[in-house]
Amino acid sequence: MIAEFIDGPLWTFSLAVFVIGVTWRIVTILMAGNRQDLSTPRGSASSGAIRTIFSRSLYERTAATRGRLLQIAGYLFHLGLFALLFFAQPHIDFYAERITGFGWPAMPHWAFIVSTELAFLGLLLLWIHRLLSPVTRLLSDLDDHLGTILVFLVMLTGCLALAQSFEALRLIHLLLAELLLIYFPFSKLMHTFTFVMSRGYTGAAMGRKGVNA
Amino acid sequence: MIRQTIPPGSIGVYALAWSLLLLWLLLLPQQSLAETKQARGLPPPAVLNPAADLWRDIRQRDMPTTGTTQVRGVDSGVLINANGDTWRKFRMEQLIPVAGYLLLGMIVVLILFYTIRGKVKIEGGAADKKLPRYTSYERLIHWFMASIFIFLAITGLIILFGRPLLIPIFGKEIFAVIASASKEGHNLMGPLFMVALILVFIKFVRRNIYQKGDLSWLLRGGGIIGKKHVPSNFFNMGEKSMFWMLIIVGSVIVVSGLMLIFPIFGQSREWMELAHVGHAIGAILMITVIMGHIYIGSVGMEGAIEGMKTGYCDLNWAKEHHDYWASQMEKRGEAIPNEAVNRFSDPDTNKFLGRELEEPGK
């Protein structure tokens, strides 16, 4: 009964909330528009936007010593999570069966394990730092911690279900993933999509002023 | 927007919660012993294996059990692994009961110690100054290792004690799920412990080299017995010894764990059995010692965990427990008024913010 609910209606509902919610958030941001800038442009806003979208993902050499580990942890978490989310065989099989109708080449099992290890390493370091540093602790609110906890639990239950031998473990993993999907559009996890707009906006503003920022 | 920040002390609360969970798990070996004894008293199963006599004869005959075969692979020429039974008996009849007694014994010792000695207070009371003790990075890698260790300890104890303990509670089907989850989680998180161990070793090794004053600390019982405090360096000899145990036993655990997770380097069954024994003994030893570490940090000593939580420790606490280091720091003018250790500062930024707060208006 519960299993059927998690596998069926709850999955459909959570996916719908995720898709509609994310679309709604993005559309509202795009519809908000910009105030017209009447100043004489000193550079290209478009190239500034594109440059900033990518350049902000590059390693920042000028970061303080203690910031370097966090940059590396950020890379580990995001790249590791991306790899295991889209290139792990069990996930590809799931997407093919439930969403796309087709699959794509998966990474080898050892790479799947390494990606998971790296993602955990990065997430734990970032989360502990958030809790320990007086500055990040003060800047963090409930949303930050809820998002982190949900992502962590989804990853953890996925790792516990790695043997793929027990339906109960798969269902726990799926249930938490569904809760994450429902929570996603209402949280800061939206930065997965909105980082493009925020960086693009800043980059365009700076590019127009001729500032290389 | 809901704004609910995590208070500075919450990490300690989390650590305590995890520790209590661990302690609960550690209480379970009592049942394990009862179960093991009960199982021993049962008659042998009535299901007959027609090949049992044959294999028993092969194992017990006075001839080698290895030969040659065209099948290529580790141990492919071994007809029957006689050591497997020895290993199984050791695990069931010695390792599990002794490990259970050891862990229970440690809990009893800590409870007794707390009952007799109570919480070790800062005698002079909290000072109005603090000393920067650990940087953000040091605290980060400490708590990273602690998180991984607690997870591995819990899942490891489930794997070791779970079969005789959890089956009577949850039944076979649920235990199968718990055991599978624990095994997968343990195997996956295990390598992260290696990363933590390397980071901790690199960062803390210099301050953990034994030096003058350490031996006298040990000879005077580290101040545990009696009320007199014994001076020590940044780390006392107990902490240094725990560090070296962590590194040495931790390395054994890591290497044996890797041998068990990756049976692809040509290791034979005997090596695997040896790795298992080394892994289990090392882990039990380490859990026992870390229980003492958690005790001191949580309920055993006032001010002990402050350094790892906030980066600062109380000046009086430092003088009472790490006097050599505290004196040096005071001479260098590193003591900071409590007001300066505000919510924004940590040891990495204390100089900048500390000066600003000490001299307002400048």
Distance CA B174, CA B182 (A): 12
Distance CA B93, CA B101 (A): 12
Mean residue pLDDT across chain B = 82
* The residue type at A195: F
B8 vs A contacts (CB less than 8 Å): 134, 137
B5 vs A contacts (CB less than 8 Å): 137-138, 140-141
Are A125 and B10 in contact (CB < 8 Å)?
Answer: no
Are B188 and A145 in contact (CB < 8 Å)?
Answer: no
Q: Is A61 helix (H, G, I), strand (E, B) or coil?
A: coil
Are A159 and B188 in contact (CB < 8 Å)?
Answer: yes
Distance CA B83, CA B62 (A): 15
> Which residues are CB-neighbours of B239 under 8 A, at least 6 positions away?
B208
Minimum mean pLDDT range among A138-147, B281-290, B348-357 = B348-357
Structure tokens at A50: 């594109």
Distance CA B186, CA B246 (A): 19
The pLDDT value given to residue B26: 43
Q: Is A128 on the interface with B (CB under 8 A)?
A: yes
Asked if A52 and A208 touch (Cβ cutoff 8 Å), the reply is: no
Q: What is the DSSP string of A129-198?
A: HHHH-HHHHHH--HHHHHHHHHHHHHHHHHHHTTT---HHHHHHHHHHHHHHHHHGGGSGGGHHHHHHHH
| Closest-CA distance of chain A to residue B182, Å | 7
pLDDT at A36 over 90: no
Q: Is B267 helix (H, G, I), strand (E, B) or coil?
A: coil
Are B8 and A163 in contact (CB < 8 Å)?
Answer: no
pLDDT tens-place string over residues B40-87: 555 655 667 778 888 888 777 777 777 788 887 777 888 888 788 888
pLDDT at A95 over 90: yes
Asked if B152 and B185 touch (Cβ cutoff 8 Å), the reply is: no
B10 vs A contacts (CB less than 8 Å): 131
Minimum mean pLDDT range among A114-123, A142-151, B14-23, B101-110 = B14-23
Task: Quote the percentage of chain A above a pLDDT of 70.
Answer: 98
A21-47 burial, b at 16+ Cβ within 10 Å, e below that, comes to: bbeebbeeeeeeeeeeeeeeeeeebee
What's the rounded mean pLDDT across residues B140-165?
Answer: 94
The pLDDT value given to residue B14: 58
Asked if A10 and A172 touch (Cβ cutoff 8 Å), the reply is: no
| Closest-CA distance of chain A to residue B53, Å | 34
The pLDDT value given to residue B64: 76
Q: In terms of pLDDT, which residue wins out, A60 or B199?
A: B199
The pLDDT value given to residue B50: 77
Task: Quote the percentage of chain B above a pLDDT of 70.
Answer: 80
What's the rounded mean pLDDT across residues A104-127?
Answer: 94
Structure tokens at B107: 């809990």
Q: Which residue has the tokens 């412990």?
A: B193
What's the rounded mean pLDDT across residues B286-312?
Answer: 92
Of all helices (H) and strands (E), which one includes residue B129?
strand B129-132
Distance CA B239, CA B325 (A): 14
Minimum mean pLDDT range among A126-130, B25-29, B141-145 = B25-29
Q: B residues 115-144 near A, CB within 8 Å?
A: 135-137, 139-140, 143-144
ipTM tops 0.95: no
What's the rounded mean pLDDT across residues A69-98?
Answer: 94
| Closest-CA distance of chain A to residue B157, Å | 16
Are A168 and B5 in contact (CB < 8 Å)?
Answer: no
> Which residues are CB-neighbours of A10 under 8 A, at least 6 positions away?
A175, A178
pLDDT tens-place string over residues B216-243: 888 877 766 666 778 888 999 999 999 9
The pair phi, psi for residue B22, each rounded to 5°, is -65, -45
Name the residue facing B185 among A143, A159, A168 (closest C-beta). A159
Q: Is A196 on the interface with B (CB under 8 A)?
A: no
Asked if A94 and A164 touch (Cβ cutoff 8 Å), the reply is: no
The pLDDT value given to residue B11: 54
Give the pTM: 0.83
* The residue type at B43: P
Minimum mean pLDDT range among A169-183, B36-50, B184-198 = B36-50
Asked if B338 and B140 touch (Cβ cutoff 8 Å), the reply is: no
Name the residue facing A128 among B1, B143, B182 (closest C-beta). B143
Of all helices (H) and strands (E), which one includes residue B314?
strand B312-314
C-alpha A107 chain-centroid distance: 20
pLDDT tens-place string over residues B309-358: 989 999 999 998 899 999 999 999 888 888 877 655 666 665 555 444 44
Asked if A80 and A159 touch (Cβ cutoff 8 Å), the reply is: no
A60: number of Cβ within 10 Å = 11
The pLDDT value given to residue B144: 96
